[in-house]
Amino acid sequence: MSEALVRGWIDSGLSPESITMTNRSDKVRLEQLRDELGVQIVDTEDVNAYDVVVLAMQPDGVLPYVRSQTWKSPLLVSVAAHIEPAELEAASGLPAVCAMPNTPVAFRDGMTGLWFGPETDESVRTTAIALFERVGRTAVTDAKTMSAFMAAAGCSPAFFYEIVGSMTPVLTEAGFDEATARQIVAQAMKGSAELLLHESRQTEELIADVAAPGGPTDRGVGVLRARDLSGVMSSALRESAKEDHEPVDTSIERV
């Protein structure tokens, strides 16, 4: 995720020289990123030398790391799951933000949830929003909504890939090669998503625009509804949003 964010930020116009990265577990990869992207790297960082410090480590290492440092000035941002901003603020004494981006931030098409700590003010919030809107769109989350956001923005891309994987064989069986088949489906999804971002009408109306009664689209939508795609997708998202894993009923009534 840190690589995806840095790639997106550089593509957005941030100077690589203004970005410093460190990685204690893989120095070879760190040096590769320096050579490839032009960022600065350090073995040991002074956290107060930067305007913003983004922690993109494993969740169990975040709070011990924060407690090990003496914090004076930077905006503290964590992109680790299951860490609350109030915990970061208690450990650091600074305003803190928990951010949940997804990997399309590398192409500036990401969706990032921002959970602001109780000590953040309007200036901090504006800075964090501006930083992550360089690489996509943002939504303000909190303790109640973050799990659902993580499922919708972080897990659902895998659902979309599953859909693409189920559609492309129809095209390859018709004679397209695998790469072209995937491109056809992916571009159709991309265009549809772009339309959704600019439309305020209900999805039912958008479907009606495409699905003439009795036509091929209408027949295909009928199959999806008969097989309860809505229920399946809703169940998948709810399962991914659970904080504590419980078995899910994966049985599907065949029609």
Q: Is the confidence at residue 252, as pLDDT, over 60? A: no
Token pair for 217 = 């689209």
Binning pLDDT at 50, 70 and 90, where does residue 246 land? very low
What average pLDDT score do residues 224-233 get? Answer: 95
Q: Residue 70 has what pLDDT?
A: 96
Q: Is the confidence at residue 76, as pLDDT, over 60? A: yes
Rounded to whole angstroms, the Cα distance separating 175 from 90 reads 60
The domain segmentation of the chain, as residue ranges, is: 2-143, 149-241
* Domain 149-241, CATH number (from 1.10.20.60, 1.20.1260.10, 3.40.50.300, 1.10.3730.10): 1.10.3730.10
Rounded to whole angstroms, the Cα distance separating 184 from 20 reads 39
Site of tokens 């995937």: 182
Contact 109, 96 (CB under 8 A): no
Binning pLDDT at 50, 70 and 90, where does residue 24 land? confident
Q: Which amino acid is at 172?
A: T
Token pair for 138 = 């943002």
What is the DSSP secondary structure assignment for residue 74, as one 8-state letter?
P
β-bridge pairing 75-78 and 52-55 = parallel
Percent of the chain topping pLDDT 90: 86
Decide yes or no: CATH 3.40.50.720 for domain 2-143.
Answer: yes
Site of tokens 């199959």: 223
